[in-house]
Structure 1
Amino acid sequence: MSINKIIARQAAYYSQDAGEWANSAYASEYPEITALLNLNLPKHNRYAVCNLRGGIGKSTLTFNLTYDTNDIIAVDTCPQSNSTAFFTRGQPASGTTIYDALLPYLLPRMSFPSRIAQKIERLNPYFSGKNAYFVPSSANLYEFPSIMESALSQARSIPGESDKARSQILNSFKDLLDRETRKYNISKVIIDTSPFFSGATHLSWHAVDSLIVPVRTDQQSVDSLQLLIHLLRDPSRTFLRAQESLELSQPKIQMVVVTHCGWSTRAGARNEPNNQTKVYLEKVHSLVANNIDLFTTDDPDNHVVPLDDFLGSGRIASANQIPIKCLEPQQSFTIEGQRVEVNASVEKCQKQLSFITSNIW
């Protein structure tokens, strides 16, 4: 299967108008630039950013997509707390964590906390003026899967009420988000998940409309995407097995964001992926096409989106907890005693993030 349409969109980012696009090498195959840049995806309110592997870029993507919209609640369910550190600018999180908020659903004698989501602008000035909230993570989430499994085990043993009790547990995150979004009159939610499925990641799948799956340009990441697909499809795996006989919502995949992409430096090559990027774009595209029933449309070209390696800009953004959209070419920062400068390539990353945002919300 061809990835030409996916590559053509990279060129389309830079065209200022239809006249300029008409002179593009891709215009004969894709004459309508507006149509090319519209993925025709259903617009959902709640997303989980998920891949069952660490180091993919889930937290970075969550942080930047949160910044790039408004009226949103971001939730960090990974015990490593990477996105929490972005939102708090590296300061220790205070207040109610997602662990605190979910625990009363599993241990009924506990009281529910009244204040959960926090305004991000109070902790990270780059969010000043944005109606954006977040719920921090906790290292206690490492213990959450065993607590959840114990609660489900007890629920299974309740005579005549087993299904109801299991549904309440598996829908607990959804119920929590329903309450928080009503409280703040907000519809959008994005969840940063753990590389491990058990526990809060499992609950997040029942709480969202669809998944955004970051995949690096390496085989381990593609294997992780395959594992995620198995979890969505195979009734013998944890996700479907746990909801046996229950009528619960389950997400489809909205988008696979192929991260750390690189582009050819060959003379005359423009917006052409390098060999490694091309290989993995093709692998991901094939995997999507072969499992298209698990996606939100029936066209695999709609669901694969390349995202450049952030390189030095990513290092600067991560070290200073700055959204990529807030960086400008030639800005200088000091990191670990070294003076570093934002490269002009940051503008392409910004366009790519805008493209993702405009197609999901």
Structure 2
Amino acid sequence: MCNIDHLLSRQHAIAEQCAEPLPIPKFNTYCICNLRGGIGKTSLSFNLSYLADNVLAVDTCPQGNLSYFYNPNYFNSRTSTYDMLLPYFMPGFGKASHVAQRIEATNHFFNGHNAFYIPSTDMLYNFASTMSFAFSQASALTGAQQQQLIDTMLFSLRSEIRRELAETSTQKCLIDTSPFFAGATHLAWHATDALIVPVRTDQQSINSLSLLLQSLSNPASPFLRIMPSNNHIPKIQLVVLTHCGWSTRAGARHQPNQQTRVYLEQVRDLVARYITHFTTSIPENHIVLLDDFLGSGRISTAQSKPINLLTAGESATIQRVRVEVNSSVEKIKNQLLFINNSIW
């Protein structure tokens, strides 16, 4: 059985809810990232935060879509991710505490879940320039003092997340990121135990995956040019191929269509080529497929409702168009549950 066939056989088992979790190490903190927008980062973060127990979700994307899912009035929050980080780069500002907010207070679908979030703000759009100025000032220092200041800044988000985990009595953390490396995404890579990389079934997303892998490999990349004293480089836990389509041939159960198969082969080749950046040495351990959410995704987004709570036949009117959840939602639930059970 060739490598891609092994992946497809496992996807069939996932759809039938009989697949064993992936044989990969488990961590407490994951960063959901890829250097491109519209590929499913926030949708994956939102749905995994619902499935996880005792979780802290951190929104580092200035667009604030994840924050909106938890609270449509998040922008009125007194303290945000930006406020947590600013004192590390502009001395004189007091450090924040108890920033995280309980999700069930503003999203009733999370009732009974021990889940918190740290909201975003559009001020994060300007944060990259603040970081750049602070790093240039640090470069004027010498020796141990310079490295100590760089460590403090690079690990600022990690320090704040650890404090908030303790204050909320949560053990797990998901960090949603922007499509751009500079700014809070840079800090998220240093705050995480491992990366989860969504990749849409299109060539631009494959190119973005390649760019991300090069950023972890090339000494000239913006990420590797400024490093902490322990040379921390995050490993990749999973590549999640999103928006997958499936064959409609008679008898072709859970078989991908040609477009999905082409991109799956490219992803597998890239993972194999850069396998030293993954948490095991077996490429097939790190690739999973996720269906195109279609109507389920539109309803989930419009209602800030996790996919796991949707049922086939459920419908809603979105922008004057009637949208319905089809039977594929059960397969999507199984795929999300498989990812959840493999990482925690």
Q: Which residue identity lines up with residue 311 of structure 2 in the other structure?
A: E
Query: Which whole-Å CA distance do the structure 1 matches of 2:60 and 2:14 have between them?
Result: 33
- Structure 1 unaligned segments of length 5 or more: list them: 17-32
* TM-score of the superposed pair, with normalisation by structure 1: 0.92
SS at match of 1:129: coil
Give the match's secondary structure for 1:158: coil
> Quick check: 2:33–2:197 contact (8 Å CA) kept in 1?
yes
Alignment length (residue pairs):
342
Tell me which of 273, 298, 305 is aligned to 2:288.
305
Q: Look up the match of 1:25.
A: none
**Residue 243 of structure 1 is aligned with which of 211, 227, 234?**
227
2:114 is the counterpart of 1:131: yes
Q: Deviations over 1:176-201 (max 9, x none)?
A: 11111111222211000011101100
Of 137, 147, 151, which residue of structure 1 is paired with 2:134? 151
2:154 maps to a residue whose letter is L
Are residues 321 and 341 of structure 1, via their aligned partners in 2, closer, same or farther at CA, if it must alter by over 3 Å? same
Distance in 1, matches of 2:191 and 2:37, equals 22
Superposition deviation, residue 331 in structure 1: 1.4
Instruction: Give 1:39-54 correspondences, 5 Å limit.
Output: 39-54=22-37
- Higher RCO (C-alpha 8 Å, min separation 6): 2
Unaligned runs of 5+ in 2: none
Q: Find out whether 1:7 has 2:15 as its counterpart.
A: no
In 1, Cα distance between equivalents of 2:134 and 2:103:
33
Q: Is 1:195 the counterpart of 2:179 in the alignment?
A: yes
Cα distance in 1 for partners of 2:132, 2:216 equals 19
Per the alignment, residue 290 of structure 1 pairs with 273
Distance in 2 between residues matched to 1:331 and 1:15, nearest whole Å: 22
CA contact (8 A) 2:98 2:164 kept: no
Identify the range of structure 1 (196-205 vs 178-187) with the bigger mean alpha-carbon deviation: 178-187
- Partner Cα separation in structure 2 for residue 5 and residue 67 of structure 1: 29
2:55/2:172 contact within 8 Å kept: yes
The aligned counterpart of 2:56 is 73
Superposition pairs of residues 249-264 of structure 1, within 5 angstroms: 249-264=232-247
Q: How does 1:1-361 map to 2 (within 5 A)?
A: 2-15=3-16, 37-89=20-72, 92-160=75-143, 161-243=145-227, 246-361=229-344
Give the secondary-structure state (helix, strand or coil) at the position aligned to 2:254.
Answer: coil
Give the partner amino acid of 1:203: L
Distance 1:90 1:330 in 2: 30
Deviation at 1:91, TM superposition (A): 5.8
Q: How far 1:89 moved relative to its partner?
A: 4.1
CA contact (8 A) 2:15 2:335 kept: no
Alpha-carbon distance in 2 for matches of 1:183, 1:347: 36
Query: TM-score when scaled to structure 2?
Result: 0.96
* Maintained 8 Å contact 2:296/2:307: yes
Please state how far the C-alpha of 1:248 moved relative to its aligned partner: 3.7
Q: Percent identity?
A: 51
CA RMSD for the aligned pairs? 1.4
> Secondary structure of the equivalent of 1:253?
strand
Distance, in Å, in 2 between the alignment partners of 1:119 and 1:134 is 7
Report the Cα distance in structure 1 between the residues aligned to 2:217 and 2:31, rounded to whole angstroms: 18
Counterpart code for 1:182: A
1:61-93 per-residue CA deviation (whole Å, 9 max, x = no partner) reads 100000011101001111111111111146644
> How far apart in 2 are the matches of 1:150 and 1:14?
49
Work out the CA distance in 1 between the residues paired with 2:160 and 2:119. Answer: 14
Contact 2:196 2:240 in 1 (8 A): yes
**Structure 1 66/272 Cα, relative in aligned 2: closer, same or farther at 3 Å?**
same
Matched residues in 2 for 1:248 and 1:124: separation?
39
